[in-house]
Structure 1
């Protein structure tokens, strides 16, 4: 018994084995009660922790996913896109947008561009499920070792999710939302849809979004037309649009472009020969001109009208298509005609100097930037340049980042033989670019004394504005002198007087006395200070005699003349004084041109307008302009006036235009002290007006009449406007006034005037 009592539970002998009851009969083994309690507590704690973790994770996911957009919304997603402005022939003339973007389809991206983007941004794009764990792990390790957050790990889908819906903040919450969105997008969209959204959304610098807009901006072509070097350059930009900008940092852009090419070679997308050729290719930029540089005043007026009709946000974000009345080809002629006319004016008055110098403002000529350098420096353009070096027979200047050289023949008109006598380093000069040899620019020295000009042309049959120039340089002054400026009209107001007289029964063959006359203290005179005695109404109009115009205004009543001018569409306030007959009233060029179009339109006025129609991005019409038509004078009166307008061209103040041998009519206008020079005239199809002057009403100089300063610009434009229309005639040309139509001499007594100054 003592031995048995000393055996432990693990001591088994044959005797004890036989003594033990069978297993089924033995009582169940239980650990001590204390151990059972500890194990149960640990299990409970573990379950609680796991439940808490799962709940927390679910809560976090719920919190960060509750505000996420529904991916189904992407089916109707329309990114902010550019509103495009087209001329009457469907040519693009301008655009405006908060984000400059052109949305295109997947197949509109050249395959070489797709390969370049995927090779540099996301090699496994076609195979991964949205999140690349290896890249994330590698980026996390890099960030941990370098103590920075510079290493990226985003796939194309993650970049798209961030760009579409999230901010660029580097936080855990934003990254988690990015991953959740990415997974949803990969589950809902195809790879082609994801790539298309990405390629239309990504920022590429210089205000450009998407690869189509990038191709248009950097290379002036579509994304479907890109070459390998061009595609690689664009694909290099998403990582750092400003850092790798080919405009601001061409060296960095070159290096990263070649890195893209290396990645494409490594991925087997291109051959060694293609890679070598692409690496050695220049950047090859062909920057598109600023979107509104051809007709900036016109496009700005269009924008203002659209803003009033549709609201600024919709206009700048919805990608509207705006079809205007402008003729792009005529607009280019108008631009050139105005600048050529101003250059001729400047050279007639010789070199005046008075140049601004950047050194006087403590600026560096090497870093100075002029506002008009946003336009491309191309032959034919007039631009400002800053002088960087002056030698007796050579001037070196800078336009943006281009070098300009001037030789003695380029400043011969100034009268100086040596450049050192009148130019200095730091001077801001005005030049007419004539050539670009690929290395340097060449040009002729011009001058910008501050004289301005404006031109407006409309289609007689529709009232649509065909061309608009509001000044010399939109980059320096956005003030539109064609629509906003009101200037004294001089003799270009006289047609309203003569029209009122014709309606009162006067005929072109009636005679009137061009003799001295006075109205109280008002003693008028003619431009040449001579009197011609008895002359026909037709001759008085053609030669722009002042005394006959005043006598006619006194006969019909100045109030009636003013009322008729308002009927023509002149909205300016006109005081009822007799000198108004000579143009002592301020009217805008737009109003004058619109009024003159009544004559070739057989007495009908069609209000000028800029927009024909507007559609949304899908082509659904939003606006269709209906011309506003009103009858101003009878067809008989209009045709009578046409005959007199033609006489101005045949042998009057506008006789220089007769060389065009076309059906034309018009009227000059010159104000006192030569502060304003006008010519407004028309063909059967087009009415055009030109004004020249200084904004501060400085004199243009002795002899600078409408025929001298404004008519050459008008003539240059109308040469283009009548091209291809050799047989057009005015409505009354088939029924000319009979030569036998005579009238009696009109006697106007000074006391008959109802008003005086």
Structure 2
């Protein structure tokens, strides 16, 4: 018996020792998986970086986790009490663990046979959110408890609560209570009401299950639980609870539309990623102040979309987006649609959406959009009387005469419409719509501040959601006659003047590389013969320009283009005179900006300064103005570009009521259309064209396709630059009376004369004309050689 007891004791000791060793190693393994918490003394979670325009208006955000970090003192007591009541009412009283809750949770888990109860304190939840996963295992719970003890040794209760309130995930990409307030209610945290705070607090347990957007009824039930807990711990009274629960909540639905500054924001992101680590940009809580003016950006967006739709509609109607199957159309017609009110239709009024044609007559079509019925009348579809017989191209058009809706629409067609308003009929409210379609033609608008080089607006296409390709900075397009500003600018440096006489007559060139003949011509039929340089630019006369560039030299034109900021390859032949090179719209607009700024080139930039979360400047743009052009020549160029608007191809811009400077541009077969122009304070460049370089359609000149967009942008933007829009005349500019046919100076007694501007010291003589034309006879090589 004694031996048995002895053996039993030995066995127990061995087993106990083995268990102790095993437990020790298990403990070491568990502890080894626990990270240090010392860094929490200085820990700041990923916080959203915000982007602002030059007036301090917020225009966007960069983030990995959408979070606004607020000190505990700036978090309203209402929000703190709601969360403490439902998550950890004795937070300030117990240690890292709440043992009573643990015992209750253990009993519940034992009865259930698996881990289902959390019973976690706020400290435990913080430990889990920062260091661990949410997978419920015994090892994780042990590590969570050990981490919680360590956290409570490193941080105070207030510091723990502050981290927790800024760290918790609350759905829809929102981390922390401040981000949740903006996400669900569109408010700052300080502006939340009791029912709103209770709703947010209720989501902590399950942001999806209790989301007011996804499951409003469950969210409402959870809100009641929070309010009841707040009553139990005496944060609010029963009367306040009842009033809060009865109060309606205005949930802000998430916006899936792209920011109006989307192209610009992506441009800024790419620039800043070259300046700093992505972790800092997307999680450093930066404040990024840009050069953008949101007011001009909105005007640019609206003008570009309006202009592209106008070009697209001139080409004709492309037909249905798709067609429903007959059985689907029957099912749609038989569906019982509730009678809407005018309020129900507010959500779609003003939007451009897809609608299904239910029935159609010659003068009216009945439409269906989700739960709404509507109508389309013949008056709101007049532009579609021109249809494209071959949708894959912009030619092959056919005009329907007489025009009726049933000739272009059929039941089951799904078409794009613009919802104009709601109207009341016998059976209730319906929407009234006009026929629409998404343009195939694309374009870009760039607005610059010529005095600083700052980008004021950037619209890189019709829709960022449909195409991320930023045509303002990525497209390479031929500028056509918009390049003539560079041609004539180079000529001014060579001694030419606005009154210099050029020759508009036929020319023939031989291309020695491709062994072919080039016979350039003007858009207008006929030839003008001798023509002043001012008129040649105003009316965009090609042959006179080619002769001018041949005299000045292609190399001089290229050199001038480089000084203006054009970086793309330029052909070293006379086709360059007519804009055969491909350029970026932002660089072409920047080149005009140098002219507008008196010959001083400012670096084009998008960001002025960046502050980190401690309000320390970590980036600041440093201006580096570079004089690249004589101010007098620059003014003469401005003066000639004023003539483009006063009496040339840009005369429609006179509708603005102020004389500005600009130039049109059109390429062969109407593939590209441009207008770039400016006031002393604002330069705006507009480009339109098809992405695949097809023709936009016959007649889509720069003055017709691009100029109306430019006018709309300038009309909306000029009021933001109050003051005199007249360009300053340098002191060394003089007025000279000349004969408009010869360019020679005439005496004061002459009856036939015009007053022209010259740089002092380069006035034309009375005997011979400066810049007389080259002889016209002979065949020239394309590179300019005889």
TM-score range, shorter chain: 0.7 to 0.9
Post-superposition shift, 1:390? 5.7
Match of 1:394?
Answer: 366
Aligned pair 1:596/2:592, yes or no? yes
SS at match of 1:85: strand
Task: Name whichever of 286-295 and 478-487 sits farther off.
Answer: 286-295
> Shift in Å at residue 235 of structure 1?
1.7
For the pair 1:556 / 2:552, whether they are aligned, the reply is yes
Deviation string 1:200-225 (CA, Å, 9 cap, x unpaired) is: 11111222211111111222211111
Contact 1:87-1:93 within 8 A present in 2 as well:
yes
- Cα deviation for residue 66 of structure 1 reads 4.0
Q: Does 1:429 align with 2:416?
A: yes
1:267-416 equivalences under 5 Å are 267-287=233-253, 289=255, 293-356=259-322, 383-385=352-354, 387=356, 393-398=365-370, 405=374, 407-408=376-377, 411=381, 413-414=383-384
Matches of 1:417 and 1:276, distance apart in 2: 60
Asked whether the equivalents of residues 319 and 415 of structure 2 are also in contact (C-alpha less than 8 Å), the reply is no
Counterpart of 1:4 in structure 2 is none
1:142 matched to 2:139: no
Q: Is the 8 A contact 2:357 2:409 kept in 1?
A: no
Aligned to 1:503: 493
TM-score (norm 1): 0.85
Contact 2:41 2:154 in 1 (8 A): no
Does the 8 Å CA contact 1:93/1:291 hold for their aligned counterparts?
Answer: no
SS of the equivalent of 1:131 reads coil
Structure 1 pair 238–460 and aligned structure 2 pair: CA distance change class (3 A):
same
Tell me whether 1:755 sits opposite 2:782 in the alignment: yes
Offset of 1:567 from its aligned partner?
2.1
> Retained in 1: the 8 A contact 2:320–2:413?
no
The alignment of Structure 1 onto Structure 2 pairs a total of residues equal to 708
- Partner SS for 1:619: coil
Measure the CA separation in 1 of the matches of 2:547 and 2:248.
73
Q: Is the Cα contact below 8 Å between 2:632 and 2:733 reproduced in 1?
A: no
Deviation at 1:280, TM superposition (A): 3.7
Once the two structures are superposed, the pairs formed by residues 529-568 of structure 1 within 5 Å of their partners are 529-568=525-564
Q: Which moved more, 1:182-191 or 1:155-164?
A: 182-191
User: In structure 2, do the counterparts of structure 1 residues 380 and 331 end up closer, same or farther at CA, with 3 Å as the change threshold?
Assistant: farther
The 8 Å contact of residues 456 and 482 in structure 1, kept in 2 or not, is answered as: yes
Q: Is the aligned partner of 1:644 residue 2:640?
A: yes
1:738 aligns with 2:735: yes
State the Cα distance separating 1:554 from its structure 2 match: 1.5
Structural mapping, 1:41-52, within 5 Å: none
Structure 2 residue aligned with 1:374: none
Deviations 1:500-536 (A, max 9, x none): 2111211111222322232343222111222223221
- Distance in 2 between residues matched to 1:600 and 1:676, nearest whole Å: 24
Query: Which one of the candidate residues 100, 107, 117 is aligned to 1:151?
Result: 117
Q: 2:436 aligned with 1:470, yes or no? A: no
Q: Distance in 2 between matches of 1:210 and 1:329?
A: 31
User: For 1:30-109, what aligned pairs fall within 5 Å after superposition?
Assistant: 60-109=26-75
Structure 1 residue aligned with 2:655: 659
**Structure-2 separation of matches of 1:270 and 1:393:** 57
Aligned to 2:612: 616
Question: Which residue number in structure 2 is paired with residue 460 of structure 1?
Answer: 450
Alignment of 1:185-196 (within 5 A): 185-196=151-162
* Per-residue Cα deviation, 1:354-390 (whole angstroms, up to 9, x for no partner): 5245879x99999xxxxxxxxxx97897644354856
1:678 touches 1:710 (CA, 8 Å); kept in 2? yes
Structure 1 unaligned blocks of 5 or more:
1-33, 367-376
Residue 641 of structure 1: how far off its partner (Å): 0.4
Residues 84 and 535 of structure 1: CA distance in aligned 2, closer, same or farther (over 3 Å): same
In structure 2, the CA distance between the partners of 1:412 and 1:158, relative to structure 1 (3 Å rule), is farther
TM-score normalized by structure 2?
0.82
2:117 counterpart of 1:117: no
Alpha carbons 1:95, 1:292 under 8 Å: kept: no
Report the secondary structure of 2:594's partner residue. Answer: coil
How far is the alpha carbon of 1:722 from its aligned partner? 1.8
Alpha carbons of structure 1 residues 96 and 426: separation in structure 2 relative to 1, 3 Å = farther
Tell me the CA shift for residue 559 of structure 1: 2.6
1:714 counterpart = 2:710: yes
Match of 1:575 in 2: 571
Q: Provide the rounded CA distance (Å) in 1 between the counterparts of 2:531 and 2:14.
A: 115
2:748 matched residue in structure 1: none
CA distance in 2, matches of 1:420, 1:518: 50
Query: What corresponds to 2:764 in structure 1?
Result: none
The match for 2:766 is none
5 Å-filtered alignment, 1:658-737, equals 658-723=654-719, 724-732=721-729, 737=734
Kindly indicate whether residue 231 of structure 2 is the aligned counterpart of residue 259 of structure 1. Answer: no
Q: Check 1:326–1:727 CA distance in 2 against 1; reply closer, same or farther (3 A cut).
A: same
In structure 2, relative to structure 1, the CA distance for the partners of 1:568 and 1:411 (3 Å cut) is same
Are 1:490 and 2:480 counterparts? yes
**1:606 equivalent among 591, 602, 605:** 602
Q: Deviations over 1:3-59 (max 9, x none)?
A: xxxxxxxxxxxxxxxxxxxxxxxxxxxxxxx97x99999888888887777776665
The structure-2 alpha-carbon separation of the partners of 1:77 and 1:192, relative to structure 1 and needing over 3 Å to count, comes to: same
Q: Which 10-residue stretch deviates more, 300-309 or 454-463?
A: 300-309
CA contact (8 A) 1:500 1:560 kept: yes
Equivalent-residue separation in structure 2 for 1:381 and 1:338 (angstroms): 17
Report what 2:390 is aligned to: none
Q: Which moved more, 1:675-684 or 1:628-637?
A: 628-637
8 Å CA contact 1:455, 1:691 repeated in 2: yes
Distance change (3 Å), C-alpha of 1:721 and 1:169: same
Which one is further off, 726-735 or 473-482?
726-735
Rounded Cα–Cα distance in structure 2 between residues aligned with 1:442 and 1:124: 59
For residue 268 of structure 1, report the CA deviation from its aligned partner. 3.7
Contact 2:472 2:585 in 1 (8 A): yes
Instruction: State whether residues 312 and 440 of structure 2, in contact with CA within 8 Å, keep that contact through their aligned partners in structure 1.
Output: no
Hey, what's the Cα distance between the residues in 2 that align with 1:217 and 1:226? 12
Unaligned runs of 5+ in 2: 334-345, 386-402, 511-516, 745-768
Structure 2 vs 1, CA of residues 65 and 442 (structure 1 numbering), >3 Å: closer, same or farther? farther
| Cα distance change, pair 491–749 in 1 and its aligned pair in 2 (3 A) | same
In the alignment, what sits opposite 1:584?
Answer: 580
| In structure 1, distance between residues paired with 2:423 and 2:66 | 30
Do the aligned residues in 1 keep the contact of 2:184 with 2:251 (CA within 8 Å)? yes
Q: Which residue of 1 aligns with 2:204?
A: 238
Indicate the larger mover: 721-730 or 95-104: 721-730
